Amino acid sequence: MAEKDQDTGETLAMTVAFAVAGAVEYRPGGTFGPRVQVHIQLVLVHTGRAKIWVNDTSYIVPQGHVALLLPGATERFEFAHDQSTWHRYIHVRVSVLPTATRMALEALPPFIPLSDRINQLTDLVLSLGGRDLAPAERELLCALGRSAVLAYAAECGSRESVMRQHPAVQLAKKAVADRYGDSLALADLAEAANVSPEHLIRLFQRETKMTPTQYLWRFRVERSVELLRSTGLTVGEIANRSGFKSTYHFARTIKRLTGMTPTELRRHSWEAGS
């Protein structure tokens, strides 16, 4: 059966034979593997973190993220040393996985932030497990497993932007979106992305044509302009919420980038909308 992913524009054809979900908690420093992956698997990390080796490469899946594993790879897991790691998983047993679908899945990032949608699909797969299933229930289980894989692909975003971005860039961007109002430094973004500051700079310049710090300040400006246009917050409140060091720094930055002071920008926006 072929399913159309509306976000990526890709057709992901696969025949799902069965799906099953489970949950495991590893004590600090726990390990698992090596093993050869035989299914498509989603690994949902709820607490702690997991370092996953896939063949000759490795990456760290932080708490609140989900990883995609594909059949045929040799995998090894090392879990957080400072806390327990609790994760859930969905095994999707695929009897037919066309080459085009395999290639499309391989192009996805190895892990992404965990969404409510994937969490809910995991809940549903878990609710059907552990008992004899009627034919209709087995069919539903297969559909849920397929939907979980498609949800992962859909949440990766457009093929040209998000799907090809390095996971570290995605993690740094998420840190910016979550904490742009705080006093963020390059070292903070690198820590959130699980790479060195120097490596993060190289990745950002390669994939966004700007440095992480430039991206952070652009994000702050965009959010502050939105607040100027859509709220009645004072200029000082907006500057503080957007992570600017002072109202003077905020006003000077807005003037340099837009040609208007914050007050002029707000008045112009409100007059245009009246």
Asked whether the beta carbons of 87 and 50 are under 8 A apart, the reply is yes
Enumerate the CATH 2.60.120.280 domain ranges in the chain, comma separated.
2-155
pLDDT at residue 168, as a whole number: 87
**Sequence-distant (≥ 6) Cβ neighbours of residue 9 within 8 angstroms:** 159
Q: Is the pLDDT of residue 170 over 70?
A: yes
Residue identified by tokens 């809910």 is 120
pLDDT digits (tens, 9 = 90+) for 247-260: 999 999 988 888 88
- 75-126: per-residue pLDDT in tens? 999 999 988 999 999 999 998 888 888 888 888 889 988 888 898 999 999 8
How do residues 2-57 score in pLDDT, each as one tens digit? 444 444 434 578 899 999 999 999 999 999 999 999 999 999 998 889 999 999 88
Burial class (CB in 10 A: 0-12, 13-18, 19+), 135: exposed
**pLDDT given for residue 164 in this prediction:** 58
Tokens of 271: 């007059």
- C-alpha dihedral, 239 to 244 to 246 to 250, nearest 10°: -70
- Which residue spans of the chain are classified as CATH 1.10.10.60? 167-273
Q: What is the pLDDT of residue 256?
A: 87
Q: Which fold has domain 167-273?
A: Arc Repressor Mutant, subunit A (1.10.10)
- Is 233 strand, coil or helix? coil
**Angle, to 10 degrees, between the axis of helix 167-179 and the axis of helix 186-193?**
130
* Per-residue confidence (pLDDT) for residue 163, from 0 to 100: 45
Tell whether the model's pLDDT for residue 267 goes beyond 70.
Answer: yes
Give the residue-averaged pLDDT of 167-185: 88
Mind listing the pLDDT tens digit for each residue in 117-166?
898 999 999 888 766 788 888 899 999 999 999 999 988 864 444 445 78
Q: In the prediction, which pLDDT does 158 show? A: 43
Nearest residue to 220 via CA among 234, 240, 200, 206: 240
Q: What is 2-155's CATH superfamily?
A: Regulatory protein AraC (2.60.120.280)
